[in-house]
Structure 1
Amino acid sequence: MTPPNPEPKPDAPRPTGLRERKKRRTRDALVRAALELFTSQGYEQTTVDEIVDAVDVSQRTFFRYFAGKEEAVFAVQEMVERQFAERVRARPAHEPPLQALRAAVLDAWNAVGESIEEIVPVELHMRTYQLIESTPALLAVEMRRSVEMEEEVARIIAEREGLDVDADPRPRVAVAAFGGVMRMTGRRWGAGQDLTVESMRVVTAAHLDELAPALAGDWRTT
């Protein structure tokens, strides 16, 4: 569906003025309504009309904030990823790359619950993750986004280490290994019963602790 005369999206930072706070409340309400509908009746089965009806706004308002349903699905995840990238940049310079990545993601999970709750209930965000994993069209988008995120983080790591990311493969190799663990962790967590931030953090830490030994050790047993 082509949006009617789409307008520029509001900037990502949390608003401070009254008008900007109103815009943010409208955007957050649209995200909540969209995710509730997507997770209860299916992504493909949900229309933009149903989303805007739930918030009592027009289609024009929806397309002021989102190019389409896909952007609404990933709105919260985009915020979480942005926080992770910021935390990688902020890690102490002396930390080795994998240690910095591990610390950044666990630190992000420590604070992410509060950030998510500003937009949607954490439980709804967790159900959305399961929706993405079980919807082929969304899973394809998720894989593309993962590749883009890994490239961004690899460049952050290369900058931290004083390397040329296009000449030295190590930043991309390290981030690819880290990203693979994160995807596998997410799938295992999503298949479980405890859909909480703390559960996700525990599963993430346990699997990241196995990364270096798995790459360096001898898997054969005598």
Structure 2
Amino acid sequence: GGKDPEPATGRRRDPKGTRDRLVRAALELFTTQGYHVSTTPEIAAKAGVAEGTIYRHFASKEQLLNEVYRAGVRVFTTIVRDTPAGLPCAERLERIATGWREVAARNPHAARLVFVSRVRSLLDPRSRDAAKELRDEVEKLIASGKAAGLVRPGAVEVWADIWLQIIGLMLERVANKEWTPDQAAPRLAVERAWAAIAAASALSEPSPMSPPTPPPEHPAPSG
């Protein structure tokens, strides 16, 4: 037997579900047609609610943007923090970029909002703090690579900027479906991002993304 149909009032009794739908609708509209062009009636219509419902959950369109932005940043920051600390810098950065790439393929709107959209002037202090936390995590990792002699001498902030710029371009192309995660292009972008900041000695070692060298066909007998 099938499930009983959901009562017509089910949506009204689920404020979290309504809020989630508003967040998803706003995220999509803000990143496809832009924040300023997107109106609250459009957001409400896309979420399937009355416009007044928005203001029961959010004080303003700007607050809605900030909630959506912080939720997106948290996803990317969590991936950085969950990367095993014991790995070499290049491998940790590669795992982070791969995790971010998977998010961009699965949730392109979140990737666009965090890495592509020009919303900085609209961010409130909490959102700016969230963005700074994400950047600080990346800088901390690159600083540890520099301390280990794996990252070029120079300002860590500059190397973080360069790495994030290249990875951001890759995420934008994946989010726009110009590149698919299984193509070579995203992997090459990640390799180029590392090559741009790596010390010369680190580049002479095999990349964690390179296939291992095959063993010789007839290995010499041991002993």
TM tier relative to shorter chain: 0.5 to 0.7
Per-residue Cα deviation, 1:48-92 (whole angstroms, up to 9, x for no partner): 233235432353x42454454345456566444323322322222
With over 3 angstroms needed to count, the CA separation of the structure-2 counterparts of 1:68 and 1:210, relative to structure 1, is same
Identity, % of aligned positions: 26
- Separation in 2, partners of 1:24, 1:113: 25
One-letter amino acid matched to 1:57: A
SS in 2 for 1:182: helix
Instruction: Tell me the equivalent position of 1:184.
Output: 169
Q: In the TM superposition, what is the alpha-carbon distance from 1:209 to its structure 2 partner? A: 0.2
Instruction: Tell me the equivalent position of 1:165.
Output: none
Q: 1:57 aligns with which of 20, 36, 50?
A: 50
Instruction: Tell me the equivalent position of 2:191.
Output: 209
Matched residue count: 178
Query: Is 1:33 matched with 2:18?
Result: no
Q: In the TM superposition, what is the alpha-carbon distance from 1:25 to its structure 2 partner? A: 1.6
Q: 1:110 aligns with which of 102, 113, 132?
A: 102
With over 3 angstroms needed to count, the CA separation of the structure-2 counterparts of 1:106 and 1:154, relative to structure 1, is same
Per-residue Cα deviation, 1:170-205 (whole angstroms, up to 9, x for no partner): 654443332122233345x17x97357627x85442
Instruction: Tell me the equivalent position of 1:45.
Output: 37
RMSD of aligned residue pairs (Cα, Å): 4.7
Between structures 1 and 2, the one with greater helix share: 1
One-letter amino acid matched to 2:169: M
Q: In the TM superposition, what is the alpha-carbon distance from 1:26 to its structure 2 partner? A: 0.9
With over 3 angstroms needed to count, the CA separation of the structure-2 counterparts of 1:173 and 1:87, relative to structure 1, is same
- Separation in 1, partners of 2:63, 2:180: 23
- Separation in 1, partners of 2:104, 2:168: 18
One-letter amino acid matched to 1:49: P
Q: In the TM superposition, what is the alpha-carbon distance from 1:34 to its structure 2 partner? A: 2.8
Where structure 1 has 5 or more consecutive residues not aligned to the other structure, the ranges are 1-17, 117-121, 163-168, 218-222
- Separation in 1, partners of 2:82, 2:31: 35
8 A Cα contact 1:52 1:58, kept in partner? yes
With over 3 angstroms needed to count, the CA separation of the structure-2 counterparts of 1:180 and 1:29, relative to structure 1, is same
SS in 1 for 2:165: helix
Where structure 2 has 5 or more consecutive residues not aligned to the other structure, the ranges are 1-9, 148-153, 201-223
Query: Is 1:194 matched with 2:187?
Result: no
With over 3 angstroms needed to count, the CA separation of the structure-2 counterparts of 1:98 and 1:87, relative to structure 1, is same
- For normalisation by structure 1, the TM-score amounts to 0.54
The residue correspondences of 1:91-106 to structure 2 (distance < 5 A) are: 91-106=83-98
Q: In the TM superposition, what is the alpha-carbon distance from 1:106 to its structure 2 partner? A: 0.5
Give 1 or 2 for the bigger CA radius of gyration: 2
- Separation in 2, partners of 1:23, 1:98: 44
8 A Cα contact 2:58 2:64, kept in partner? yes
Instruction: Tell me the equivalent position of 2:150.
Output: none
Instruction: Tell me the equivalent position of 2:218.
Output: none
Instruction: Tell me the equivalent position of 2:75.
Output: 83
- For normalisation by structure 2, the TM-score amounts to 0.53
Per-residue Cα deviation, 1:111-162 (whole angstroms, up to 9, x for no partner): 6655x4xxxxx5xx28x839x95x75x36558x6755631343346668999
Query: Is 1:69 matched with 2:58?
Result: no
